[in-house]
Structure 1
Amino acid sequence: MKIVIIGYSGSGKSTLAKHLAGYYKIPVLFLDKVNFLPNWVERDRHDGRLIVNEFMKNDSWVIDGNYKDFYQSERLEQADKIIFMNFPRRVCIYRAFKRYFKYKNTTREDMASGCVEKIDLEFMWWILYKGRTKEKQNHYKEIEEDFKNKIVVLRNKKEVDLFLGDYLIEV
């Protein structure tokens, strides 16, 4: 089984990825962990692509994150299920603050070593605006259209809970 989880920052992609990987006992790759080196330094794109390419050779996996440069088209094609976390801005910003206070002065397991949890104006602007430009929204719409037979769009926690209840029984 191959599962791709995409969506907006703060929507719960990593949490869902951990849950599904644990349930199915399959490896998980957090693309934020691939993209960043310690202290929020961006990894060389070529090196990141090598990591993702190698991981995708597994028979089963969960991959959490957007990152077009990291074989997004191939990930979407190979996936048995695509989950789009399409939560509203207000929920994502609330969750980002909640996450910050939970992990303040530490590094989450889904982040690169040395990337201490932070919330700053740049990240808030990303959640509220830059990560939701018309171009990005249209890209998600294209994914929904191109992969309508295997995409699930989740818009709130209730839908996630219902999906997990149905999906984990169904598969």
Structure 2
Amino acid sequence: MKIMIIGHSGCGKSTLASYISKMKRIPLLHLDQVYFNTGWQPREREEALAIVKQQLENESWVIEGNYQNLYQKERLEQADQIIFLDFPRLSCLKRVIQRYNRYRGKTRPDMAVGCIEKLDVEFIWWILYKGRDKKKRQAFNRIERNYKDKLRIIRNQKELDMFYTIFDET
């Protein structure tokens, strides 16, 4: 089983990916851990690509994160299921604020070591606008159009809760 989880910042991609990985005993890769090194410094591109490529060679995997430049096309092609968390902007912002309060001064389990949780104007702008600009919407629309047979879109917490319930039964 190969599962790709994409979506907006703050939707719960990492939490869902960790849950699926644990329940199905499937190797998990958080792309934020691949992209960033300590202190939010980007990892060397070739090293990041090698990490993702190695994960793609596994028989089963869960890969969480968007990052078009980290073999997104290959992930889309190989995935048996693509889960797109498409929560409203303000829901994402609320969740990010809650996450910040929980992890303030710490590194989240799904982040690279030394990437202390932060919430600044730039990130808020990303959540509300830049992460949903025309180019990003077009990219998600292409995924929806080209992979509709294996795409599951979850638009709010109620739908996500239902997904967890159904997933528990499988």
Tell me what 1:69 maps to.
69
User: How much does 1:138 deviate?
Assistant: 1.2
Indicate whether 1:44 and 2:44 are aligned. Answer: yes
1:39-70 superposed Cα distances (whole Å, 9 cap, x missing partner):
00011111100100011111111000000110
Tell me what 1:137 maps to.
137
Indicate whether 1:26 and 2:26 are aligned. Answer: yes
Q: How many Å separate the matches in 2 of 1:87 and 1:152?
A: 13
Alignment check: 8 A CA contact 1:34 1:51 kept: yes
Q: How many Å separate the matches in 2 of 1:99 and 1:168?
A: 24
The amino acid that maps onto 2:125 is: W
Tell me the TM-score normalised to structure 2 length. Answer: 0.98
Q: Percent identity?
A: 51
Q: How does 1:52-67 map to 2 (within 5 A)?
A: 52-67=52-67
User: How much does 1:19 deviate?
Assistant: 0.6
Tell me the TM-score normalised to structure 1 length. Answer: 0.97
1:79-123 superposed Cα distances (whole Å, 9 cap, x missing partner):
010000000000000011100000011101100000000101111
Task: Name the SS for the 2:148 alignment partner.
Answer: coil
| CA RMSD between the two structures | 0.8
User: How much does 1:168 deviate?
Assistant: 3.8
Task: Name the SS for the 1:55 alignment partner.
Answer: helix
Alignment check: 8 A CA contact 1:45 1:69 kept: no
Indicate whether 1:92 and 2:92 are aligned. Answer: yes
Q: How does 1:78-157 map to 2 (within 5 A)?
A: 78-157=78-157
Q: How many Å separate the matches in 2 of 1:165 and 1:117?
A: 30
Q: How many Å separate the matches in 2 of 1:34 and 1:139?
A: 21
User: How much does 1:169 deviate?
Assistant: 2.5
Task: Name the SS for the 2:149 alignment partner.
Answer: coil
Q: How many Å separate the matches in 2 of 1:169 and 1:105?
A: 37
Which runs of 5 or more residues in structure 2 are unaligned? none
Task: Name the SS for the 1:29 alignment partner.
Answer: strand
Please list every run of at least 4 consecutive aligned residues from structure 1 whose deviation after the TM superposition is greater than 4 angstroms: none
Q: How many Å separate the matches in 2 of 1:168 and 1:141?
A: 29
